A and B are shown apart, each in its own frame.
Chain A
Amino acid sequence: MSEEEQKKSVAFGETTDLENGEKVETSEGNTAEGHSVAENGDAEASTFDPSAVKKKKKPKKEKESENGEEAPKENGDGEAFDPKLLKKKKSKKAKAEEGEVGAEGDGEFDPTKLTKKPKKTTKKKAAGDDDDFQKRLEELGLEDKKDEPAAPQTQEEFEAELAQGGGVWAQDNATPFKYSQLLKRFYINLYEDHPELSGDGRLKNYKIPPPQVAREGNKKSIFANLPEIAKKMKRNPEHIIQFIFAELGTNGSVDGAGRLVIKGRFQQKQLESVLRRYIVEYLTCGTCKSPNTTLMKENRLFFVNCNICGSRKSVSAIKTGFQAALGKRKKMQA
């Protein structure tokens, strides 16, 4: 499985901890179960033999299973100790810091962050062109200093001015636009409207905002930013909801604001791991790992078509499978 590669191409933004209190609570239950997994490993192998066909696989297999399935593991260890997790977080942070200098730090995906690097180069280049032009002007004995803004603008100032229509962009401003300004504006607009067109490698930093999960009452959880995430992934929210419900063996509803109300108590990291699996199965291209894909239904079959390399993979329809009738059980036990 290419879980690792996967993580590189699709990352969740910095996680915002909505529920510090809650985490502690649920982890106690899980840690107890989680710990005994390893202990049991050997004992089982030596005694159980249901079919009398194959006996005792080597311990090597166990290793595989330990680091293979990511989702249950995260859950099983709870908050207790997981070096892998820590490492993951750290590297994420490091990546985040190098890429997003002026990040607001709220974990939200901000397209402007991603444009930073390439834009800087264009800025430099443009500035270089400008300088040449300036020199030539000076040689000709002409000066256009009066157009020059007093201090060199920072990227943020530039973007703010552009967004608000201030400075040179103001309706009543008569100073002519400079080529570098127009070029910068072009790149900003291009990235906002068609991120896939504005240069290569950009989508490597493709980020999905972390799910915002809150508890409603005692038995329900609210996944607040599902519409935003669905939009980012270019998927029908219904499809994602179907997957979430099937995976969690539960159901729920969508409220007026588009938030998903899920029956049961779920934490952010749990929904994140479900979303991760959704991404692997229904979002990323099987060939180039790009998340820029389209989900299509053809003759009752579902396909994921890649918008980058054109490859297509067939994916299974979401199936709920067996669901225990818990209500009935409760009554029967009582």
Chain B
Amino acid sequence: MSLDNLKSFDPFAETDGGDDKKDYIHIRIQQRNGRKTLTTIQGLPKEIDPKRVLKFAKKEFATNGSIVEDTELGEIIQLQGDQRQKISDLMMNSMGIKKSNIKIHGF
């Protein structure tokens, strides 16, 4: 018999504070060399296939991108350039994601 179920809740883990339950989709921007930037999307819901999103976004935003597997955070979509507004519009307009579930970071 395994005692795995006892591990499911760690009372001493760092917590999120108030919005524990909320699974935000984080859209971030990072500066690369020079004026170039990189947009990352973290926390897409499971029912959405990141590969399809990437494929569509690449074509629609005329940019390049990739999917990165993060051990803790799952699959991350990376897009070249500042695509934050465009990708959040896309998610709200055609992926049925609520604005309140999207967190856009950066300047």
Contacts and interface: CB of A to CB of B under 8 A. Distances in A.
B106 A322 contact: no
A317 B14 contact: yes
Interface in A32-59: 33-34, 36-37, 40-41, 43-45, 47-51, 53-57
A276 to B, nearest CB: 10
A180 interface: no
Given A56-B93, A322-B42, A76 B85 contact: yes
Contact residues of A: prevailing secondary structure? helix
Contact of A248 (B15, B70, B94, B106): B106
A214 interface: no
What size tier do the contact residues of chain B reach?
A: 35 or more
Contact of A29 (B35, B38, B42, B68): B35
A118 interface: no
Interface residues of A, number: 61
Contacts of B68: 322, 324
User: Which among B68, B89, B90, B94 has the highest number of chain A CB atoms within 10 Å?
Assistant: B94
A44 B30 contact: no
Given A248-B106, A270-B107, A41 B49 contact: no
Contacts of A314: 17-18
A40 to B, nearest CB: 6
Interface in B3-38: 12, 14-19, 26, 28-33, 35, 38
B26 A322 contact: yes
Interface stretch (A65-73, A106-114, A127-135, A199-207): A65-73
24 contacts: A30-B82, A40-B60, A41-B89, A47-B56, A50-B52, A51-B96, A55-B94, A61-B92, A62-B89, A62-B92, A65-B92, A247-B106, A248-B30, A249-B105, A267-B107, A300-B12, A301-B17, A316-B18, A321-B28, A321-B73, A324-B78, A326-B30, A326-B38, A330-B32
Interface of A: 26, 29-30, 33-34, 36-37, 40-41, 43-45, 47-51, 53-57, 61-62, 64-65, 68-69, 71-73, 75-76, 246-250, 264-267, 269-271, 273-274, 300-302, 313-317, 321-324, 326, 330
Interface of B: 12, 14-19, 26, 28-33, 35, 38, 40, 42, 47-49, 52-53, 56, 60-61, 68, 70, 73, 76, 78, 81-86, 88-90, 92-96, 99, 104-107
